[in-house]
Amino acid sequence: MTLGLSAAMLSTTLLHLSSCKESPRENPLLQESTLPFGAPDFNKIQAADFLPAFEVAIQQKRDEIAQITENPDPATFENTILALEESGHTLNRVSRIFNALTDADKTPEIGETEKQVTPMLTDLENEISFNKTLFERIRQVYEQEFDTLQGEDKKLLEETYKSFVRKGALLPDDKMARMKEINLRISDLQIQWGDMLPKATNDAVVWVEKKEDLAGLSEADIAQCQKDAESRGEKAPYAIVIVNTTQQALLSSLDNRELRRKIFEASVHRADGTGKYNTFPIVVEIAKLRAEQAEIMGYPNFASYSLEKTMAKTPENVYAFLRNLIAQYTPKAQAETKAIEDYARKTQGADFQLQPYDRFYYSAKMKKELLAISDDEVKPYFNVDSVLINGVFYAANRVYGLTFKQRTDIPTYHPDMKVFEVIDKDGTTKALFYCDYFRRPTKRGGAWMDSFAKQSHQRQQLPIIFNVCNNAKAPEGQPSLLTWDEVSTMFHEFGHALHGMLSDCQYNRLSGTSVARDFVEMPSQFNESFATIPEVFDHFARHCETGQPMPAELKERMLQSINFQTAYSLGENLAATCADMAWHMLSSDQIPTAEQADNFETEALRQVGLLDAQIPPRYHTSYFNHVWGGGYAAGYYSYLWTEVLAVNIADVFAQRGALQPETGQDFRDKILSRGNTGDLMQMFTDFTGMQQPDASGLLRARGL
């Protein structure tokens, strides 16, 4: 039975096997899959399988670590570093499948299992990270063999040793004990966060009684609101679902100003305690614990500790980068806001005060008047299936020589998913790719890439990659249409997928996207550039009913509109970035209380000149999942940092011919295939010829 068919199916209690006359059922998570690539067999896996599988897999990992530490032979690369790299295969497999579900199909039973499993995994991580005997063997190998090892062996040793040091392996016993406590508490808090935020976002839905209140929306959007209401208990005929970001796309076309206000307020206040949910107590405790972690490790704040292993290296470098952008951005943002308000006053009167929930609405009207373009006019040309097959896949074929064959014989965790075999230009199978593009109540907000298995020659494992988005699914029999932002997101996430698919590394630890976060977003941001290349655009932008390409005149207007009033998107990103940095520049005794948290964000934005009611952060602190629930603490800047890298790389492609296979192969050889096997800046230099990234092209690329 496929996982995700319904919460009811997943929550069915298994009979005690001891009471059955049939042979005991083997846990499929503890068996090597017989499917191609070792793909997860979701026809067999049940939610109840995960907890016992974790219990067995964790013990296996403990036993494998014990074999390393109890080895009487002197420590060597093979019997210590390589043995550690190859430990925990079962745990890795079970964790990757489970993590995919907790993000994309978190049924109540999966959520309950997560609460039980997370502390078990944190305990194991603490045991390994602070195992003095294990670290002593690692240190011996590092001191004795580092200078003689070559290539990936040398890099694996370096990454292993430094990761143990960064986690606290050199700490005295009392501080080591405290780090263990902190790790456990943070993992517990992040479970609470991961449980509360989706509930808060789902609870923030705005109910609408009358269809006339939805004036301005397309019939397709209204049908989606009706469908969303049906899936959420039908408290009213229509429901407007809140997405993960502050601004909501429907605000660009909804005529009812009061309803726009309600939607915006529901988004902003979803988790700040003004309603049913309040994440601020979780936020401030995580922030305080992170600051304490950094102090134990000898750093003044968490940002300094975290950034040490990135391309940026220090908070000072990040702030220098941000200040330069803010200085260039500010006058453009002010001019953009004034232009929108002046436009609105033409119809609303000279005393009309533009509010943040008005901005998208009047900007869209202004764009339609000046450029004669609207989302409703172009969406029929962005059918999700055409964007995927004729756009995302087509570009990958033209540039990298990849082809994609749909596999209907491989089960998925939800019926909305599709699976494709990725075939290289020499005819060999390269990867397996799953896509899960439609939103549902059990899926967290946003879009992401991950894997059921990473590429590794050592493990003879081809990559099994998946992309997840939150697009609206049309009613049965109708095409699911996308906005341009959603088109760009599909190309973006597939850039991450390519980084995983085209990996050509020996070791799992170093392969694919295992790079610094201010490098990992570069392949994805760069891949967005293919969406606007004429040959690619013409291939996927086809009318959902007629199949005809977008008319040249409409295409010209649409492409011109992409960079219409883009100061907003840069500003919301800058504001979120600066809020993230502000929280992680504090010492442990400077962390505000939960009651002060909202004001802290406000003052932090004021200090950097980004306190602007018209351009709020893309994520306010209370629902900033990247920072409090994900791995982007003191790292959200990386989206802007890597956008600079991506612009530089796109310029190289444009100079050489954007769809030239030779350029694609060069990019593949020097960056996409190499994972974390070398110096990341050197990889960038090897491909572009540039010694340092050039930030001057960022605002130009955004039309600013």
**pLDDT for 454-475, tens place per residue?**
999 999 999 999 999 999 998 8
The answer to whether the CB of 414 falls within 8 A of the CB of 4 is yes
pLDDT value of residue 23: 55
| Residue carrying structure tokens 């306010």 | 620
Give per-residue pLDDT as tens, 100-137. 999 999 999 999 999 999 999 999 999 999 999 999 99
- pLDDT tens-digit profile of 612-637? 999 999 999 999 999 999 889 999 99
Distance in angstroms (rounded) separating the CA atoms of residues 50 and 18: 19
- Can you tell me the distance from the alpha carbon of 580 to that of 620, in angstroms, rounded to the nearest whole number? 9
**Helices 356-371 & 315-348, crossing angle to 10 degrees?**
70
Which amino acid appears at position 241 of this protein? V
Q: What is the pLDDT of residue 702?
A: 87
Percent of the chain with pLDDT over 90: 88
- Output the pLDDT for position 669: 98
d(CA 403, CA 398): 9
Is 601 tagged catalytic? no
Give the side-chain half-sphere CA count within 13 A for 257: 10
Could you say which DSSP state residue 702 is in? Answer: T
* Residue numbers in the chain where pLDDT is lower than 70: 1-23
HEC string of 525-584 equals: HHHHHHHHCHHHHHHHCECCCCCCECCHHHHHHHHHHCCCCCHHHHHHHHHHHHHHHHHH
Helix pair angle (173-203, 108-129), 10° resolution: 160
- Other beta carbons within 10 angstroms of residue 409's beta carbon come to 8
Instruction: Please give the pLDDT value at position 231.
Output: 87
Q: How many CB atoms lie within 10 A of CB 414?
A: 19
Show Cβ contacts of residue 221 under 8 Å, excluding neighbours closer than 6 positions.
214, 250, 253
As a whole number of angstroms, the distance between CA 386 and CA 481 comes to: 10
> Residue type for 702, please?
R
CB 182 within 8 A of CB 614: no
Considering the candidates 152, 292, 493, 572, report the single residue annotated as catalytic: 493
CA pair distance 318, 196, nearest whole angstrom? 31
Distance CA 140, CA 35 (A): 41
Of the candidates 471, 403, 418, 417, the residue with the CA atom closest to the CA atom of residue 440:
471
CA distance 298 to 315: 15
Q: Is residue 101 within 8 Å of 413, Cβ to Cβ?
A: yes
Q: What is the pLDDT of residues 591-613, one digit of tens each?
A: 999 999 999 999 999 999 999 99
Q: How far apart are CA 484 and CA 606, in angstroms?
A: 32
Q: Which tens digit of pLDDT belongs to each residue from 53-62?
A: 999 999 999 9
Alpha-carbon gap, residue 657 to 661, rounded angstroms: 9
Largest CA-CA distance found in the chain, in angstroms, rounded: 84
Strands (E), 96-200: none
Kindly report, residue by residue over 19-45, the tens digit of the pLDDT: 344 457 899 999 999 999 999 999 999
Domains of the chain: 7-170 (1.10.1370.40), 204-268 (no CATH), 280-371+566-636 (1.10.1370.10), 379-561 (1.10.1370.40)
For residue range 632-686, list pLDDT tens digits in order: 999 999 999 999 999 999 999 999 999 999 999 999 999 999 999 999 999 999 9
Q: Which residue in 417, 396, 508 sits closest to 463, CA to CA? A: 508
